[in-house]
Amino acid sequence: MKLQILYLQNNSPKEAKECINKIIWDEWGRHYTSKQDLESEIEQSFKKESVSRVFYIIDRNGEIYGTASFLESDLDLFPEINSWLANFYILEKYRKQGIGKKLYKEIIEYARSLGYEYLYLYTTDTSYYSTKRWNIIKNFPYKNKENFLMQLKLEDEERIS
């Protein structure tokens, strides 16, 4: 199984854009005000001056296995944070095969290449990230649920060769 990690661009195939929009909306739509907000976030990553990227992992046949985003802004509650891991999702049938690990490492390396010292995320479930050296730095209510702001010090994360 030959997989490739790409990031969405303005000239990416329409099918890829639609599939990734659907994956993100189906899993994370509750965090967006509307589908237009999601589409706007993705389109923001197409701008040359933006470092935000929507990564996806795909096979030779064009099947998308998962997605993850590096965002400059993800949560208005924390406007001072400008390096977010967001929308990290591997389709269920492809889990437990190391695919998520590849995509995760790509985001880590991308953030590192931009010179960021930390990466942040928010979640309602810390179990996965706690095993990956992420630290809870704050808990807060959001969308009627208890959420956790987590931080990863990038120099502590293993270098990827």
Q: Residues 74-126: pLDDT tens digits? A: 888 999 999 999 999 999 999 999 999 999 999 999 999 999 999 999 999 99
Distance CA 121, CA 83 (A): 9
pTM over 0.85: yes
Taking domain 3-115, whether its CATH number is 3.40.50.970 is answered by no
Contacts of 60 (CB under 8 A, 6+ apart): 2
Identify whether the C-beta of residue 154 lies closer than 8 Å to the C-beta of residue 119.
Answer: yes
In the numeric block, the tokens 């390396």 are attached to 109
Q: Tokens 């502590």 — which residue?
A: 156
Strand partners for 3: 59
9-49 pLDDT per residue, tens: 888 888 999 999 999 999 888 888 888 888 888 888 888 88
**Whether the Cβ atoms of residue 20 and residue 42 lie closer than 8 Å to each other:** yes
CB-hemisphere CA count at 13 Å for 107? 30
| Domain residue extents for the chain | 3-115
Distance CA 2, CA 108 (A): 21
